[in-house]
Every structure is written in structure tokens, then in C-alpha cells.
């Protein structure tokens, strides 16, 4: 009797000596629709002889009967829906799909982007389910009364006046108004193409502008005025920008999609999507942007766009033509144009600091690359949506975008809580780091200079036409490239010559011994050329040591009396074949009173170490862009020589003086302490990986959409090594003073941005 109620079970019938798969229809069972299962109908009407039902366990041929007690035949559709069978056609249906089967496919399609099935059925199913989820089922105006963007899942952590903001949010102090800024990220995706398949007459769009895509007819009317628009310049270094209008669009009605999401959380904005016809043009972005902010009352909008530097040109003129209300409600002070952190490096360096999130007040640690994560999710459906009609594609992508938003919204509480914990830790680190760095600079440059730097930062924050405190005098973000690498090397050579003139023995015997030992240790399998070089160096070093012994005998005539037997043997019969192993027996090797000049030597070594790191900082970007091969390693080798020349005297002071106050300024130098002003605190292995990553052109990979994960390294997490503290800044060394000023400004910006991030996350939570 149960099988009368369960018509979609598979039946096995016993045949002589085995079970044979059969169906309930073959066994004579008929499923009655329109009545309680098991009850007969007085006026039954047989369904089509080949009536088919698609279920999660397969495709079934079912003998079904409609109820004739309820009037016209169109009631058949209602009876099927009451049985949770979705008909494939509105009249005289021959095929149905069960609700569980549609639910399963719907979920898998949104989650795993499995290939399309039940196309016409799924178009209706997606729309009905979305309307139900957004509360349209019981609205008095019905489905047709759905407003623009009403079916979109909005971000619960972004500011929405009248929904999730405090009643007095407009009365907050000006310095806290950033808590209610709206962050929007704009980007184009050229993978979501669409072929010319069916026109709108045969397959009309059922939900025009109800969710994420803009209203099509209004959109197309706008684009007709900009058919020949070609305004994208060559500022951005990404191939997608240069070649967008040159790609083959033959046979396509859509070459991609322009999208807008909330930059801090990654949720797609309502009416924030628009199809691209011939690449990425400003007219497409302008219209989508106006529809995204239409009717909103945000206090300030932070716009992130990888070509913001070009898009903002004539922006207000274009907005006046599209929607004059935007120019009434907003101005240049409350619409701020920025460039995503990872994209800004690919732009020209001239005058681009004002587009960098690291230096913009009120943005926290927003990196604005979340839009790439959204595209990575939707791109998995590109192959199936490319072959769909425009109407089916729009509904499918709306549904996929909505599912993506729903997933993010469900996890926001956990994500924001983790971010807050991390932000508090980072703020503590960078605030302490800036406080120490600032205090050390006050002792060397004075309060007046620090005050002037602070004023410079404050003025630039208000007016970006003022001198930028985050730039060295020159043309861009990095030190001026007007000074070539050779000119930098000449300046360094002059510094070294001045050091020799002051009597500083740059190439002392002890440093030569350590340098040769380092070379031998780091070259386990030398080539014949290197072996010849080593042999010549050994001869030169042996002669220098012999000269040193003669000089030592004059200054330390009783030296041999303090040596033990093994030391005397080494002193009398040095290892001529391996001169790098010869012990020099310096004063610091003995436990006696401190010798004059030792401390001067270690301070000078630390100074040369700083000079080498500054040189590496100034030339690293130049080398990465222009030089490959062995040349780039020369300066790094000099830095490590300075490291060695600091290690030995510092350890000598420790053995002579013991622990004391002097260690506050001359600390033990670890490998991880050696990084330049503009470098990040990384281990040697991490720094090598970072340089290798740059050489591979990681920025180009992002430009081509080949990656969704961003590196954790960058300006946001950089701290200072102790070697830069407590150093005197000479008034005559203007270039170095500028470098310190830039690093002071950057350190302050890092501390400020992390403080803002903590406050933003608290508000969002």
C-alpha cells in the first residue's frame, strides 16, 4: 500500500532465480494527483502515456492521473506543484522535475558550478526561490512589484542609514566620521563572455534589474551615446587594460562583466553589475556606478578602481550628464578615488601616492583586492554561461552572485572577529614601533623637525597638491631615477674614500680574513677561475698578515708571553696554505682592560652597515627593473661584510667590558635585524623568496587573473630594525634626512591605519 504514496521508488521483481529491476508503472500502480495519497478521484484524467518524472535517484516513467474535480485543465500544473513536481511546461506537461532534485542541482550549481541542466525549469526555479527568500511571496504588489536591486543580498557590515547605523551617526566628531565611510571596489572581468544565442523575444528576461545586474533597456540606451568611446590611457601596466578593446569579440554579445562590490567584505552590490560589449569603457563603469549609489545617503564613498587615476578625469562632467543628483549630493571631498594596493605598483610612479590606501586617512587596512575573490568564484561558471541565452545567463549569474553574498554574510561574524584580534596585535606592534622610532628621532633631529614633518603630513592629507611626505625628492614613489645606478656607486665610492682619508682602515687584515673565510664557505665547488682568484687572494692575504705581524711586534712586544703552547705554535708557524685560518691575536682576544678605539670601530661598522642598507634601499627597485645577473649581488655582499665587521668588535667589547649600558645602543646583531629603511622585517629565506617572487612578475600574474591569493608581505606589516634608532641626522646630509622623514611618515601612517582598522572592525561587528 505504501507504494501508492511513493511512486518514485525503484522496484525489484523476482524472476525465476533472480531479482529483475522494474517500475511501479509496469506493476500496474497509478499515482493519483490532487487528492490525499491512496484516495480515488471520481473524475480522474490520465496524464500523458509517456509522463516522466526526474528525481534525485533517476528518471522515472510514472502512470499518473490528474483530478478532474477541480475544473479546467490548467489546474494540472497546480496539482503537480502540490505534489512537489515542477512541470517543464505550463500547459499539458509531459515531464516534471521533483523539488528535491532541483534543490540539489541548485545548490551544487551555486557551490561547485556543475554544468547546466533543466535550463528552462531552472530559470523559473531560480527566480521563484529568490523572490521567496527576499519576502516577495507575501507582498501585496506581488512579484511584479519588485524594486530595482531588491532581490540582492546586501552586506550587513557596510553602513546602511536607517538599518545598522546609530541614530546620531551624523553627529559623530569629524575624526570618527570614517567609521561610516562606504568602500566600493570596481573591476572588470573578461572571462564571463556570452555568445549570441537567442534573442529576447524568444527568451525574455524575467527579472530585469531586480538583483545585481542593471536594468538592460536603460543601460543599452545609455551606451548608444558612447559607441566610439576610446578613453583608456596607458597609465596602468596591466595587459587587460591595454588590450581590452582589441580582443576578438566576433560572435559575442557580451565580452565580459563590470562589477562593484563592497571593498572591505567582498559582497557584490545591488545593481552593481553590467555587461561589457567591446572591452572596458568608462561609459559602462559610469552607468553601473551611478546605479549602485542611486538613492543612498553615504557620508563618504571610497572608490577603489585599478585605473582610478584615469577614470577620475572628467568624472564629474560625465556624472552631470548621467545623473545630476550625484553632483548635488557628493563632491570631491566625499568621493575619494583610490587604487588597490597590489595594483598601484604597476602604475607610473609620478604623483600616485594620493591613490595609495597606505597613506589615505580613514581607510584602515583595507587592501581592496576582495573583488578578485568574487571573480574567482563566479569564473567557474564561465563555460556554462557562455552558451546560455542572455536571459538565462543573467538569472544564473544573479543567482551565483547572490549565493556568494549569502555565504560571505553567514561567515562575517567569525571573519571580522579574527580580523579584529589580528588588528589589535598589529596596532600594538606598530604603535610601539613608531613611538620608539619617533622618540629616537626627537633626540637627533629635534622637536621642531618632527613638528614640521607632522605638519607636512597633515597638510598633504587635506590637499593632495601639497608636497607629499611619503616621497623622496624626485619623480615618484621610489627614489628619483634621475640618479643612475653608476652615479649612486660613484657617491658610495666617494664616501669610502673619505673614510680612508679619516684613517679608517676599511680593508683591515681581520676583515680580509673573515671575507676570505666567508667566500670559501659559500663556494663549496669553485670553478677553475674562482680557484685562481682564491689562490691570488691567499697570497695577498699572507703578505698582509706578515706586514701586520711586523707592525704588531712594535705595538705588542710582549704578546708571545701571553700565549699558551698551541697559540705559540700557531704564532710561530702560521698555516700558509690557509691564511684565512691564521689567528691574529688582537687585543680583544685577551681578557684585559678595554682598548681605546674598539668602540669607535664597532660604531663605524654600524654606520657603514646603515650606509650599505640605504644604498640597497635606493637601488633595489632600479635593479629589479633594469638589471639581472651577478651585478645585483655586489651591494648585498658589501652589506654582509659590514655585518661581519660589526659582529667581531661588538663581541670584543662584550668580552672586554662585560654586559652594561652600552648594549642598549650596540646590541647583538642578528641576521633578521639587517634590513633597509624601505625593506620589510623578513628572514633571509623569506627575503630571498620575496625577491624571487618579484622577479617572476607576480604583478603580471594578478593582472591576468591567474591568482586569487595576495601576499601577506608589504607596507602594512613592515617594522624598523633597532639599527636605525639613536642615529644622528646631519643637517648637511639632506638626502638621508629626506629618507628618514619618509620613513617617519610611513611609520606614522602604519600605526594610524592599524588604529583605524581596529575602530572600523569594532563598528562593523
The confidence score (pLDDT) of residue 490 equals: 65
| pLDDT-based confidence at residue 478 (cuts at 50, 70, 90) | very low
214: left (phi over 0), alpha (psi -120 to 50) or beta: beta
- Res. 632: pLDDT tops 80: no
pLDDT of 335 strictly over 60:
yes
Average of per-residue pLDDT across 183-195: 93
pLDDT confidence of residue 660: 73
- Determine the average pLDDT of the residues in 259-275: 95
The confidence score (pLDDT) of residue 628 equals 45
Report how far residue 233's alpha carbon sits from residue 267's, in angstroms, rounded to the nearest whole number: 29
Q: Does residue 496 carry a pLDDT above 80?
A: no
Model confidence band, residue 247 (pLDDT cutoffs 50, 70, 90) = low
Average pLDDT, the chain: 78
Residue 184 dihedral angles phi and psi, to the nearest 5°: -120, 135
- Pick the more confident residue, 147 or 245: 147
Tell me, what's the pLDDT at 37?
74
Span of 21-25, 259-263, 426-430 with lowest mean pLDDT: 21-25
How far is residue 683's CA from residue 688's CA, in Å, rounded to a whole number? 8
Radius of gyration of the chain, Cα coordinates, nearest whole angstrom: 37
Pairing between β-strand 44-46 and β-strand 64-67 as defined by DSSP bridges: antiparallel
pLDDT at 236 over 50: no
Better-predicted residue by pLDDT, 102 or 716: 102
pLDDT band at 741 (very low <50, low <70, confident <90, very high): confident
Interatomic CA distance for residues 170 and 45, integer angstroms: 66
For the ranges 114-123, 315-324, 595-604, 635-644, the lowest mean pLDDT is seen at 595-604
Helix axes 370-378, 390-445, angle to 10 degrees: 160
Q: For 691-694, which contacts have Cβ atoms below 8 Å and span 24 or more sequence positions? A: 691/624, 694/624
Whether the model pTM is above 0.85: no
**The three cell numbers locating residue 485:** 645606478
Contacts (Cβ under 8 Å, ≥6 apart) of 391 = 123, 198, 200, 203, 204, 205, 206
| pLDDT at residue number 727 | 54
CA–CA distance, 466 with 468 (Å, rounded to integer): 6
Strand partners, 261: 185, 268
pLDDT at position 638 over 80: no
What is the model's pLDDT at position 685?
52
Mean pLDDT of 35-39: 77
Of 188, 287, 298, which Cα lies nearest the Cα of 247? 188
Burial of 255 (0-12, 13-18, 19+ CB in 10 A): buried
Task: Tell me the mean pLDDT in the region 377-396.
Answer: 91
Going through 526-642 in order, the beta strands assigned E by DSSP cover: none
Amino acid at each position: 500500500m505504501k507504494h501508492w504514496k511513493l511512486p518514485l521508488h525503484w522496484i525489484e521483481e523476482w524472476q525465476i532465480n533472480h531479482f529483475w529491476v522494474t517500475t511501479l508503472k509496469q506493476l500496474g500502480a497509478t499515482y493519483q494527483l490532487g487528492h490525499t495519497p491512496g484516495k480515488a478521484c471520481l473524475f480522474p484524467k490520465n496524464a500523458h502515456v509517456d509522463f516522466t518524472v526526474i528525481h534525485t535517484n533517476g528518471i522515472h516513467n510514472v502512470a499518473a492521473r490528474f483530478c478532474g474535480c477541480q475544473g479546467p485543465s490548467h489546474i494540472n500544473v497546480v496539482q503537480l506543484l502540490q505534489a512537489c513536481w515542477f512541470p517543464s511546461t505550463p500547459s499539458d506537461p509531459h515531464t516534471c522535475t521533483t523539488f528535491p532534485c532541483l534543490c540539489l542541482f541548485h545548490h551544487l550549481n551555486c557551490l561547485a558550478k556543475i554544468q547546466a541542466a533543466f535550463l528552462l525549469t531552472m530559470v523559473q526555479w531560480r527566480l521563484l526561490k529568490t523572490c521567496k527568500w527576499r519576502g516577495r511571496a507575501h507582498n501585496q504588489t506581488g512579484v511584479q512589484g519588485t524594486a530595482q536591486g531588491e532581490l540582492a543580498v546586501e552586506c550587513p557590515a557596510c553602513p546602511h542609514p536607517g538599518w545598522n547605523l546609530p541614530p546620531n551617526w551624523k553627529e559623530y566628531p569629524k575624526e570618527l566620521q570614517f567609521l561610516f565611510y562606504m568602500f566600493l571596489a570596481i573591476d572588470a572581468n573578461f572571462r564571463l563572455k556570452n555568445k549570441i544565442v537567442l534573442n529576447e523575444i524568444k527568451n525574455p528576461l524575467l527579472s530585469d534589474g531586480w538583483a545585481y545586474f542593471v536594468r538592460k533597456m536603460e543601460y543599452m540606451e545609455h551606451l548608444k551615446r558612447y559607441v566610439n568611446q576610446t578613453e583608456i590611457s596607458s597609465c596602468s601596466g596591466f595587459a587587460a587594460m591595454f588590450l581590452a578593446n582589441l580582443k576578438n569579440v566576433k560572435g559575442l554579445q557580451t565580452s565580459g562583466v563590470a562589477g562593484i562590490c563592497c571593498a572591505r567584505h567582498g559582497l557584490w552590490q545591488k545593481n552593481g553589475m553590467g555587461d561589457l560589449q567591446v572591452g572596458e569603457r568608462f561609459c559602462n563603469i559610469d552607468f553601473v556606478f551611478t546605479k549602485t549609489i542611486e538613492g543612498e545617503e553615504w557620508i563618504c564613498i571610497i572608490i577603489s578602481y585599478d585605473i582610478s587615476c584615469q577614470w577620475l578625469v572628467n568624472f564629474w562632467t560625465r556624472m552631470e550628464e548621467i545623473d545630476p543628483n550625484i553632483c548635488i549630493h557628493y563632491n570631491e571631498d566625499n568621493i575619494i578615488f583610490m587604487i588597490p594596493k597590489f595594483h598601484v605598483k604597476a602604475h607610473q610612479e609620478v604623483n600616485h601616492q594620493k591613490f595609495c590606501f597606505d597613506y589615505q586617512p580613514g581607510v584602515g587596512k583595507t587592501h581592496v583586492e576582495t573583488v578578485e575573490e568574487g571573480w574567482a568564484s563566479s569564473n567557474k561558471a564561465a563555460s556554462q554561461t557562455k552558451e546560455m541565452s542572455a536571459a538565462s545567463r543573467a538569472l544564473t549569474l544573479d543567482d551565483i552572485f547572490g549565493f556568494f553574498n549569502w555565504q560571505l554574510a553567514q561567515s562575517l561574524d567569525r571573519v571580522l572577529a579574527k580580523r579584529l584580534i589580528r588588528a589589535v596585535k598589529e596596532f600594538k606592534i606598530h604603535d610601539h614601533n613608531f613611538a620608539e622610532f619617533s622618540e629616537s628621532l626627537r633626540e637627533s633631529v629635534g622637536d621642531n623637525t618632527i613638528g614640521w614633518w607632522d605638519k607636512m603630513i597633515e597638510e598633504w592629507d587635506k590637499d593632495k597638491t601639497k608636497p607629499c611626505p611619503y616621497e623622496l625628492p624626485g619623480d615618484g614613489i621610489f627614489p628619483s631615477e634621475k640618479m643612475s645606478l653608476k652615479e649612486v656607486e660613484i657617491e658610495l665610492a666617494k664616501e669610502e674614500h673619505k673614510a680612508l682619508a679619516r684613517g679608517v682602515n676599511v680593508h683591515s687584515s681581520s676583515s680580509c680574513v673573515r671575507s676570505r673565510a666567508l667566500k670559501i664557505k659559500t663556494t663549496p665547488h669553485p670553478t677553475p677561475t674562482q680557484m685562481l682568484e682564491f689562490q691570488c687572494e691567499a697570497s695577498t692575504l699572507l703578505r698582509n698578515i706578515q706586514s701586520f705581524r711586523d707592525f704588531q711586534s712594535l705595538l705588542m712586544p710582549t704578546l708571545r708571553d701571553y700565549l699558551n703552547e698551541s697559540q705559540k705554535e700557531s704564532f710561530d708557524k702560521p698555516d700558509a696554505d690557509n691564511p684565512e685560518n691564521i689567528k691574529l691575536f688582537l687585543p680583544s682576544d685577551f681578557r684585559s682592560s678595554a682598548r681605546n678605539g674598539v668602540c669607535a670601530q664597532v660604531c663605524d661598522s654600524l654606520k657603514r652597515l646603515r650606509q650599505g642598507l640605504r644604498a640597497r634601499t635606493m637601488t633595489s627597485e632600479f635593479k629589479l627593473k633594469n638589471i639581472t645577473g651577478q651585478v645585483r649581488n655586489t651591494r648585498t655582499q658589501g652589506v654582509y661584510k659590514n655585518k661581519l665587521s660589526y659582529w667581531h668588535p661588538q663581541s670584543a667589547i662584550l668580552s672586554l667590558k662585560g654586559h652594561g649600558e652600552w648594549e642598549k645602543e650596540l646590541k647583538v646583531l642578528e641576521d633578521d635585524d639587517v634590513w633597509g629603511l624601505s625593506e620589510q622585517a623578513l628572514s633571509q629565506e623569506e627575503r630571498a623568496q620575496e625577491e624571487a617572487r618579484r622577479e617572476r612578475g607576480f604583478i603580471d600574474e594578478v593582472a591576468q587573473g591567474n591568482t586569487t591569493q595576495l601576499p601577506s608581505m608589504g607596507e602594512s606589516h613592515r617594522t624598523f630594525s633597532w639599527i636605525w634608532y639613536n642615529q644622528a641626522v646631519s643637517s648637511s646630509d639632506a638626502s638621508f634626512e629626506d629618507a628618514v622623514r619618509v620613513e617617519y611618515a610611513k611609520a606614522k601612517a602604519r600605526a594610524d591605519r592599524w588604529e583605524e582598522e581596529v575602530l572600523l572592525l569594532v563598528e562593523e561587528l
